């Protein structure tokens, strides 16, 4: 940082490297100060450790590491969540899935909901806020991801049962009114995996890692196993890739689901698909 010692000079120099807004966010984190502090007291001196730490974070951001990992947090649905390289960074697209799940859950007095592949736990935590009477379970194969999810549940006072395992493995004999999932669905070799900070995110949470696959392996496993874990009239809702809606609907139909539908995100892309299994509580598409 060329020996910068004040927060104002550090901000100025870093802004030339990564942009003013991101430089400010990192500086506020390192120096434990507010935006108002930066404006009102640019002469405030940084310690040598703060200078070193800030410069290291700026260099990592220059190298493409996502800002959320450097800050250790990200926002989703109006709530702040802890994140780490063990979990995906929340995307606004997933709000489509959460909204659809909440619409169905509130129709039941005590909905039993499970989130498969919970990652940072954003889905069950938000659902706990919108559906406080729901009984929430979250499953992930990664112990490191579950640790992040549990910390987020504590942060937001959410009562969630966390289980470690692969999809339905820890749920033997259990049935739910709603199964939700944002599983790995990017196809092997998809060029998107090389850009936009994705190389820094857990690849096992992005792609099913099937060599030459189309990204459908995890989606198919969830669909095929759902009937054994859905209560009568229960719903399965899944986020998927921009070009997978038709395949997902076909798989749902083959598995015996009805009221099959897809829902679009704000960009007009079919982002979530699902259906209901068996007879039960009305859950018409919203």
Please report the pLDDT score of residue 282 as a whole number: 45
183 in a known ligand binding site: yes
119 in a known ligand binding site: yes
| 221 three-class SS | helix
Q: How far apart are CA 121 and CA 87, in angstroms?
A: 9
184 in a known ligand binding site: yes
pLDDT single digits (tens) 181-204: 999 999 888 887 887 788 899 888
Q: How far apart are CA 106 and CA 237, in angstroms?
A: 15
Residue 4 pLDDT greater than 60, yes or no: no
Q: How far apart are CA 175 and CA 222, in angstroms?
A: 14
Please report the pLDDT score of residue 284 as a whole number: 39
Q: Flag whether the pTM goes above 0.85.
A: yes
Beta-carbon-side half-sphere exposure of residue 101 (alpha carbons within 13 Å): 34
241 in a known ligand binding site: no
225 in a known ligand binding site: no
118 in a known ligand binding site: yes
Residue 2 pLDDT greater than 70, yes or no: no
Give the torsion sign (CA, 206, 210, 216, 219). negative
185 in a known ligand binding site: yes
121 in a known ligand binding site: yes
The pLDDT-based confidence of 214 (bands split at 50, 70, 90) is confident
242 in a known ligand binding site: no
Helical axes 94-105 vs 122-130, angle rounded to 10°: 40
66 in a known ligand binding site: no
Q: What is the mean pLDDT of residues 149-171?
A: 98
117 in a known ligand binding site: yes
């Amino acid at each position: 940082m060329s020996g910068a010692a004040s927060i104002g000079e550090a901000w100025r120099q870093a802004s030339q490297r990564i942009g003013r807004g991101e430089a400010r966010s990192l500086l506020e984190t390192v120096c434990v100060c507010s935006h108002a502090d930066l404006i009102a007291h640019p002469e405030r001196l940084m310690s040598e450790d703060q200078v070193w730490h800030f410069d290291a974070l700026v260099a990592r951001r220059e190298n493409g590491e996502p800002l959320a990992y450097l800050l250790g947090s990200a926002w989703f649905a109006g709530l702040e969540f802890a994140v780490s390289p063990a979990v995906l960074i929340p995307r606004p697209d997933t709000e489509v899935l959460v909204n659809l799940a909440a619409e169905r859950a509130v129709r039941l007095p005590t909905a039993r909901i499970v989130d498969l592949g919970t990652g940072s736990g954003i889905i069950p935590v938000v659902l706990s806020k919108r559906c406080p009477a729901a009984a929430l379970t979250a499953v992930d194969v990664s112990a490191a991801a579950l640790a992040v999810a549990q910390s987020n549940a504590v942060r937001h006072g959410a009562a969630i049962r966390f289980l470690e395992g692969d999809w339905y493995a820890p749920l033997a004999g259990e049935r739910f009114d709603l199964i939700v999932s944002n599983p790995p669905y990017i196809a092997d070799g998809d060029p998107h995996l090389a850009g936009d900070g994705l190389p820094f995110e857990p690849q096992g949470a992005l792609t099913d890692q099937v060599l030459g696959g189309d990204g459908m392996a995890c989606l198919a496993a969830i669909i095929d196993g759902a009937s054994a874990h859905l209560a009568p009239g229960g719903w399965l809702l899944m986020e998927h890739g921009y070009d997978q809606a038709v395949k997902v609907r076909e798989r749902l139909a083959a598995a015996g689901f009805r009221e099959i539908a897809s829902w679009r995100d704000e960009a007009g892309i079919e982002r979530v698909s699902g259906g209901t299994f068996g007879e039960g509580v009305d859950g018409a598409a919203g």
